[in-house]
């Protein structure tokens, strides 16, 4: 991967430049530079190097991380399984895959205990994981058991033939019955852990929503993703001033419950890579979700 510096806005420290270009944390970018994986004009560089016009930045390899992801016995809610893939109903509060410094008690640990057959396309830390949903979002995701199936499902994500529908409870009463939010999403320049609607180093993001029920102080909606950006629905609903209830990052800071944000991946559909049949799966929202909805119904 190569980048040529041709704009004055890019005359910044190389680590800051790569954080935006690679969508990685500062620590990971600095570790890549430390491992001599980043060259400037063919030479190794330092984090403090300030880029100049015509500089050629080259990424020569992937970051080598110490990983030790072990199988853990876990009660997985398996909605469907065959020799090629699985569909899992993930509970709110469960992290999908390990990350630096956190290699236990994730869905991947449970998958490794359940089966020895998981795709390797995403490396040792994310075996089988085709797409992810946030820790405190509940619902469906598909897991690949081999690399061929993984690639086929990933391609369906890219060409938008893998469909995902969510249900969410949002703050306030939405006046119209349907809507489409077409607003690009990128890293929040003031908080690297958050995403935001921005024109800077962003990607296209489109969310369609439909109102299911209106309450005095909240609205129950169904969301269909046309793209799959990090925190997309949470960011988009916050952007139109209807943040998801119980979302401390993009909504009101005060939580109304220990349950996670009121967002549930209720439906997923795709073409089976081997049988070529269209498959669709649904799962009801968790009981905790229903209890919070009832509270808003009765206000």
Q: Can 134 be counted among the known catalytic residues?
A: yes
Are 264 and 89 contacting, i.e. CB atoms less than 8 angstroms apart? no
Are 250 and 243 contacting, i.e. CB atoms less than 8 angstroms apart? yes
Q: Measure the CA–CA gap between 247 and 236, rounded to whole angstroms.
A: 13
The token pair at 5 is: 């510096």
Instruction: Please enumerate in sequence order all residues whose Cβ is within 8 A of that of 46, keeping only pairs 6 or more positions apart, or say none.
Output: 14, 33
Q: Measure the CA–CA gap between 25 and 193, rounded to whole angstroms.
A: 9
Q: What angle do CA 176, 251, 238 make, to 5 degrees?
A: 40
Instruction: Please enumerate in sequence order all residues whose Cβ is within 8 A of that of 156, keeping only pairs 6 or more positions apart, or say none.
Output: 162, 270, 271
Catalytic residue among 55, 134, 136, 247: 134
Using DSSP bridges, classify how beta strands 263-271 and 138-144 pair: parallel, antiparallel or unpaired.
Answer: parallel
Instruction: Please enumerate in sequence order all residues whose Cβ is within 8 A of that of 131, keeping only pairs 6 or more positions apart, or say none.
Output: 141, 142, 157, 162, 228
Strand (E) or helix (H) holding 186: strand 185-188
According to DSSP, the residues that pair with 180 across neighbouring strands are 208
Which residues are identified as catalytic? 134
């Amino acid at each position: 991967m190569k980048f040529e510096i041709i704009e004055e806005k890019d005359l910044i420290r190389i680590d800051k430049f790569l954080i935006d270009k690679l969508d990685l944390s500062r620590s990971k970018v600095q570790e890549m530079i430390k491992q001599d994986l980043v060259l400037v004009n063919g030479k190794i560089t330092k984090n403090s190097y300030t880029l100049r016009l015509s500089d050629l930045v080259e990424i020569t390899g992937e970051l080598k991380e110490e990983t030790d992801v072990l199988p853990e016995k876990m009660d997985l809610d398996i909605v469907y399984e065959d020799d090629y893939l699985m569909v899992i109903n993930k509970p709110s509060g469960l992290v999908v895959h390990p990350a630096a410094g956190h290699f236990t008690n994730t869905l991947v640990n449970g998958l490794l205990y359940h089966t020895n057959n998981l795709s390797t396309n995403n490396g040792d830390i994310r075996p089988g994981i085709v797409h992810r949903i946030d820790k405190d979002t509940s619902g469906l995701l598909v897991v690949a058991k081999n690399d061929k199936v993984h690639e086929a499902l990933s391609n369906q994500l890219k060409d938008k033939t893998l469909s995902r529908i969510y249900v969410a409870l949002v703050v306030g009463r939405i006046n119209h019955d349907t809507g489409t939010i077409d607003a690009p999403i990128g890293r929040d320049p003031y908080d690297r852990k958050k995403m935001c609607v921005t024109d800077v180093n962003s990607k296209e993001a489109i969310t369609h929503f439909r109102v299911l029920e209106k309450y005095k102080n909240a609205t129950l909606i169904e969301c269909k993703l046309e793209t799959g950006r990090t925190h997309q629905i949470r960011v988009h609903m916050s952007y139109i001033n209807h943040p998801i209830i119980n979302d401390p990052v993009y909504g009101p800071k005060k939580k109304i419950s220990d349950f996670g944000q009121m967002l549930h991946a209720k439906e997923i559909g795709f073409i089976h890579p081997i049988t070529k049949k269209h498959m669709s799966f649904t799962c009801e929202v968790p009981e905790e979700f229903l209890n919070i909805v009832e509270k808003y119904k009765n206000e």
